[in-house]
Structure 1
Amino acid sequence: MTILILGAGQLARMMSLAGAPLNLNVVAYDVGSKKIVHPLTGEVYSTTLEDAIAHADAITAEFEHIPDDVLTLCCNSNKFYPGKAAIKTGGDRQIEKALLDKTKVACAPYQLITEKAHLELAVEKLGKPLVIKTCQAGYDGKGQWRLKSDEQIDTIWAEMADFIAAGTEHAPHTIIAEKMIPFDREVSIIGARDKHGNVAIYPLTENEHTNGVLTLSVAGLDNSRVEQQAIDAFTKLANALDYVGVLAVEFFDVQGTLLVNEIAPRVHNSGHWTQQGCHCSQFENHLRAVAGLPLGNSELKHVTAMINVLGQANIPTEVLATTDVTSHWYGKSVKPGRKMGHINVSADNLAQLGARLAELSKLLPEADYPGLLTMSQSLNN
């Protein structure tokens, strides 16, 4: 069976690795070069996109920002999962907010902005400070502003106006202003849904971000107070989209109440820990779902932390001497802040995990791996 993935980055790479034991042949469409490639070896095939679609048994995506003509072509084949509506929702915050409103899944109060009067209305209605985000083309903290005082309105609006003006009639640009919510922590739920509506949901994960980029995720904490809220939100959203594949939902935890921050219609960075922490990883379960195979076991096997490697060409080899540490590399050229790979650390219990993170913190500098030492200390308390 052949699976075509739109996008040829690290997520396609890890799906290819997960698919091999299932006898799934995974090929990828590089949106930038418009070539069909092998997502692991980088081999470029002479096949056209049209031919790849014809020969694929199923088609999926590793990211949301897919050109509309490519997305439409794939959807017309009736082989594309999770479907056009899901991809559009994940790639446009305006559509995402509409889905949250429709399904009555809670999020921060917001105001849609297409002109300066809307920004002024947001300040009046929501108060300050505001988190302002582009509805399209924003990821990993890009395309965002923080408005803390009225004096910033003119300056921020000038930058926002440039983004809005860059939109077109067929692809308009819009912006969302959200009330800044003081939250206790960030968490995410990841689950897979198959073509028959069956689901396999992974344990709630606690996430640490630095400058808008995920740096650390931990699975296995006691989240019993809020986990059902996350499962309910996932279920409502997945059912509304008639979703097939892995869906990630990120939340703010506000004193025990979860508010959705973002939806990602794909395998997700905060689920990379499932490679070592679960019986069946998010990558394998995504392929199982789109290929029509039974979903795998998503229960926790080991408490696990995932550490992102950002902008580093390598890690100290001594890291691999720590028990139950596994490294995953993406085969990318080095750029500052770029996601180069990740490290998964597993343990039998949280105290043991804390000890292993403390051991790693002596090898991985805080400047490059923020929050590692703090998390290790919290797990040992």
Structure 2
Amino acid sequence: MTKVLVLGAGQLARMMDLAGSPLNLDITAFDPRTNNVVHPIANEYTLGSLEQGINNADVITAEFEHLAHDVLEQCQASGKLLPSSKAIKIGGDRRLEKDLLESCHVANAKHKIIANYDDFTAALGELSLPIIFKSALEGYDGKGQWRLKSMAQAETIWSEMEEFIKQAKTSVPQAIVAEQMVPFDREVSIVGARNSKGEVAVYPITENHHTDGVLSVSLALPVEDALQQQAFEVFSKLTQALDYVGILAIEFFQVGDSLLVNEIAPRVHNSGHWTQQGADTCQFENHLRAICNMPLGNTELIRPTAMVNILGEDSVPEAILAIAGVSIHWYGKEKRAGRKMGHINVSGNNGIELATKLGQLGEILDTGAYPDLAEFAAKLTRKVSA
């Protein structure tokens, strides 16, 4: 039995454990909040220290990228960490991420790095409005971001960012990445796996819809070959440059027929949760297959599927279970406003059937918790019916 230690003890480690059990994998999780190794599903059961977890593991991986560098270095020194600490650090630091994209000649938004007021004024001179400012470290789900639409906001935004930088408790200095805002048509992502032999398997491009800066729906439908090929080429460039092993997610802005990289995530990803019901092999299993040196599983779309995030709610009406093709995945978390508590996967035999089911879901779920699901379903209905 192969033993896998996951750095992080949240829902992604939980879902890796559920996917790994049929493969006869023994999965534990390191909780950075307590510095204990725990059971991925029942975190209250402690199983020792990080050092003990490293010694017991055959392979180590991560469920999120914002990990202390000393933890990553300790795991890297064991020779068991996949993907590498370099890849994980790049995913957690937008400065390193931009360096990677530029070195691989991958299209992304025009940007400047800001560490002080002089950098800020220089960025205002080189970038045109609107500008989005993102924290280099510890930014996720819309946190650590500011939007400058008018120069009248500039000094106020700088004051907020300066205070943010001063209060940073990160192991390396915090900074801000200023980006030229891209007038995109839609946001999409690709999730794929690469193993130590360099073999690659990627899932179809997924369309992502955000509500208040947080992913609310991911939609997997058949995609145009040209767009899929573009995304595949970017995935291949980045994974080859990093000698990457595991699942990598890449978020894009689609502008016309072109894709610009928004950010990367060196791990299983929220926009890939649809694969649990929409593909033969889900992203969690393929990540484990890749890091455990097993053959990669089939990543083809077997039926149109959408993932709906459950945010800040610890229950849903049971009536949604009466809709064929609906599956619920709870994370076992304590309820908190805006927190990712679980997700709902919805599948149909074709785009119209999926849109109909999403519409039914929108009628049953609380509109306060899912404010634009019904609108999304209506737009999808128009799109697939055209």
Contact persistence 1:166–1:173 (CA under 8 A): no
Are 2:257 and 1:261 aligned? no
Structure-2 separation of matches of 1:169 and 1:234: 29
Structure-2 separation of matches of 1:37 and 1:59: 14
Are 2:302 and 1:286 aligned? no
Are 2:71 and 1:60 aligned? no
Aligned to 2:153: 152
> What letter matches 2:124 in structure 1?
V
Q: Percent identity?
A: 52
1:282-361 aligned at under 5 Å gives the runs: 282-361=283-362
Aligned to 2:276: 275
Aligned to 1:35: 36
Structure-2 separation of matches of 1:171 and 1:337: 28
Contact persistence 2:68–2:171 (CA under 8 A): no
Contact persistence 1:208–1:371 (CA under 8 A): no
Are 2:103 and 1:121 aligned? no
1:105-116 aligned at under 5 Å gives the runs: 105-116=106-117
> What letter matches 1:288 in structure 2?
R
Are 2:100 and 1:94 aligned? no
Structure-2 separation of matches of 1:168 and 1:338: 22
Structure-1 separation of matches of 2:170 and 2:232: 37
Secondary structure, aligned partner of 1:253: strand
Aligned-pair CA distance for 1:376 = 2.0
Aligned-pair CA distance for 1:169 = 10
Residue deviations 1:239-297 (CA, integer Å, cap 9, x gap): 11110000000001111211111100000000000000000000000011111111111
1:205-244 aligned at under 5 Å gives the runs: 205-244=206-245
Aligned-pair CA distance for 1:166 = 3.7
The 3 A distance-change label for structure 1 pair 357 and 169 is: closer
Aligned to 1:199: 200
Residue deviations 1:176-211 (CA, integer Å, cap 9, x gap): 110111111100000000011001100000000111
> What letter matches 2:325 in structure 1?
D
> What letter matches 1:327 in structure 2?
I
Secondary structure, aligned partner of 1:79: coil
Structure-2 separation of matches of 1:86 and 1:52: 21
Contact persistence 1:130–1:147 (CA under 8 A): yes
> What letter matches 1:174 in structure 2?
A
Contact persistence 1:216–1:371 (CA under 8 A): no
Aligned to 1:165: 166
1:180-195 aligned at under 5 Å gives the runs: 180-195=181-196
Aligned-pair CA distance for 1:153 = 1.4
Aligned-pair CA distance for 1:366 = 3.1
Structure-1 separation of matches of 2:33 and 2:94: 23
Contact persistence 1:204–1:223 (CA under 8 A): no
> What letter matches 2:107 in structure 1?
A
Structure-1 separation of matches of 2:213 and 2:224: 23
Structure 1 ranges of 4+ moved more than 6 A: none
Instruction: Indicate the RMSD between aligned Cα atoms, in angstroms.
Output: 1.3
Structure-2 separation of matches of 1:323 and 1:169: 46
Structure-2 separation of matches of 1:308 and 1:22: 27
Residue deviations 1:132-178 (CA, integer Å, cap 9, x gap): 00101111000000011112111111111123334589611111110
Structure-1 separation of matches of 2:307 and 2:190: 15
Structure-2 separation of matches of 1:327 and 1:170: 37
Contact persistence 1:192–1:285 (CA under 8 A): yes
Structure-2 separation of matches of 1:260 and 1:5: 27
Are 2:140 and 1:139 aligned? yes
Are 2:14 and 1:13 aligned? yes
Structure-1 separation of matches of 2:279 and 2:194: 17
Contact persistence 2:69–2:171 (CA under 8 A): no
Secondary structure, aligned partner of 2:48: coil
> What letter matches 1:187 in structure 2?
V
Q: Which runs of 5+ in 1 are unaligned?
A: none
Structure-2 separation of matches of 1:249 and 1:34: 30
Aligned to 2:48: 47
Contact persistence 1:307–1:343 (CA under 8 A): yes
Aligned residue pair count: 381
Deviates more, 1:99-108 or 1:44-53: 44-53
Aligned-pair CA distance for 1:113 = 0.7
Q: Which runs of 5+ in 2 are unaligned?
A: none
Structure-2 separation of matches of 1:111 and 1:49: 37
TM-score relative to the length of structure 2: 0.96
Contact persistence 1:311–1:340 (CA under 8 A): yes
> What letter matches 1:332 in structure 2?
K
Contact persistence 1:273–1:304 (CA under 8 A): yes
Structure-2 separation of matches of 1:43 and 1:66: 21
TM-score relative to the length of structure 1: 0.97
Structure-1 separation of matches of 2:266 and 2:352: 33
